[in-house]
Amino acid sequence: MRKTSSYFDEKLGQEIQQMDGLNHITLYPLRSLLTAKLADMRKREIHSALEVLYPVDSKVVMETEDLLRSLGILIDNAMEAAPQTAGTVRIVLLQEEKELYIAVANNYDQAPELSALSRKGYTTKGKGRGTGLTSYRRIVSRCKGCVARTYLKDGYFVQELRLPAA
Q: Which residues of 80-89 are buried (b: 16+ CB within 10 A; e: fewer)?
A: ebbeeeebbb
What is the span of the domain harbouring residue 71?
Answer: 2-164
Better-predicted residue by pLDDT, 37 or 58: 37
Furthest C-alpha separation in the chain: 55
**Domain harbouring 14, CATH code:** 3.30.565.10
Residue 127 predicted with pLDDT over 90: no
Say whether pLDDT at 138 is over 80.
Answer: yes
The total number of structural domains in the chain stands at 1
pLDDT 10s digits, 62-98: 999 999 999 999 999 999 999 999 999 999 999 999 9
pTM of the model: 0.85
Q: How large is the average pLDDT for residues 23-44?
A: 93
Query: Are the CB atoms for 26 and 57 separated by under 8 Å?
Result: yes
- Three-state DSSP class for residue 101: strand
Q: Which residue has the higher pLDDT, 6 or 102?
A: 102
Mean pLDDT of 112-140: 75
Q: What percent of the chain has pLDDT over 90?
A: 63
Average pLDDT over the chain reads 86
